[in-house]
């Protein structure tokens, strides 16, 4: 997989990788580019993007997913060491229903503090176990 063969000239993240749009770069390697979010929801909110342009996790080649996951782990460890938050959210959205804002695979590291008021967590409510079992079987049937 090479970045040069999968560059979308209309993609804001591809433009950041290419240097056409400035960023607060944290690191880059052959596969990924990590930088600060300029609309942070918490101090230290940062992103990792693959250099291989792909719109989302579902359409990404497995190799791209692997290098992106390794990059997010590297970034998360550095954010943890720097800020020592109470926790970290690692977020990745696919499609409009999940509020994906840029159609280029990306993962967020969001440092969290107890009582920070961010509304990303949900309450645990017991589900219908029969429906859960049914969905599990349906999903198994659609594995590649």
- Antiparallel, parallel or unpaired: β 107-112 and 46-50: antiparallel
- In the beta sheet, which residues pair with residue 27? 34
pLDDT for residue 16: 96
CA-derived radius of gyration, the chain: 17
Give the mean pLDDT of 62-77: 96
What are the helix (H) ranges across 1-144? 12-18, 62-83, 129-141
Catalytic residues: 106
Q: What is the pLDDT of residues 12-56, one digit of tens each?
A: 999 999 999 999 999 999 999 999 999 999 999 999 999 999 999
Q: Give all domains of the chain, ordered by start, each with its CATH number.
A: 3-141 (3.30.428.10)
Helix (H) or strand (E) holding 107: strand 107-112
């Amino acid at each position: 997989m090479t970045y040069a063969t999968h560059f979308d000239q209309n993609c804001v993240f591809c433009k950041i990788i290419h240097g056409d749009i400035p960023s607060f770069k944290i690191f880059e390697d052959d596969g990924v580019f990590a930088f600060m979010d300029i609309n942070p929801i918490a101090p230290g909110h940062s992103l990792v993007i693959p250099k291989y342009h792909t719109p989302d996790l579902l359409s990404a080649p497995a190799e791209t997913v692997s290098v992106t996951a390794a990059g997010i782990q590297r970034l998360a460890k550095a954010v943890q060491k720097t800020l020592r938050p109470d926790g970290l959210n690692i977020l990745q959205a696919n499609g409009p229903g999940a509020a994906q804002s840029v159609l280029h695979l990306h993962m967020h590291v969001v440092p969290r503090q107890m009582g920070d008021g961010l509304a990303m967590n949900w309450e645990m409510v017991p589900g219908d176990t029969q429906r859960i079992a049914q969905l599990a079987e349906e999903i198994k049937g659609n594995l590649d």
